[in-house]
Amino acid sequence: MNPFLKMRLIGVAVAFAIYAADQWSKWFVTERLGVDRLGDVMYLLPFFDLRYTQNFGVSMGLFEADSFESRWMLVGVTALIALVVTIWMFREKAFGDILGLAMILGGALGNIKDRYELGYVTDFADLHFGDFRPFLIFNVADAAITIGVVIILARAFFMRDKDDEEVDDLMQGKPADAAESN
């Protein structure tokens, strides 16, 4: 199998796994544990609770969809972003970037499904240290999106880009030194 195709298939599998983990965790918290109404809290650790909330906006509650039209506009915009991320993932050559984009895609799909079906995104993970909350209440999809963005940014700032010829040589199994000696 072509190594580039294999990396992209792994990316699709990672995106699907994150989507599935996000949907399962939301189901488990709301259905099995019964944390399903605004104000419901299940205390787990001194720094982590399950606290049900409905997010009608996007990241950090921005751009709240408070009408039928704005809800569907938000679904459309986030779906367009997911499409752009998908295209980017399929064009990317570096596995680290494919992995980061797959995490963003899987998380986006999980949140899009919620917004499409419910009109809001179900959030439940509450990380806190006393009264200090470094994040708003979030879910698996949000965490995956955040980690994916950090991976993409870290690779953009700290990883040296290889030119296309060197990447092609590496994918064909040639050592990096062979490309320099030609």
Residues with active-site annotation: 123, 142
First to last CA, the chain: 26
Cα angle 37, 39, 44; round to 5: 100
Task: Return d(Cα 67, Cα 135) in angstroms, integer.
Answer: 26
- DSSP assignment letter at 28: I
Cβ contacts of 121 within 8 Å, gap of 6 or more: 54, 55, 56, 111, 114, 115, 139, 141
The CA distance from 157 to 18, in Å, is: 25
Sheet holding 121-127, edge to edge: 41-45, 48-55, 121-127
Q: Which helix (H) or strand (E) holds 53?
A: strand 48-55
> Tokens 């062979």 identify what position?
178
Q: How many CA atoms lie within 13 A of 97 on its CB side?
A: 19
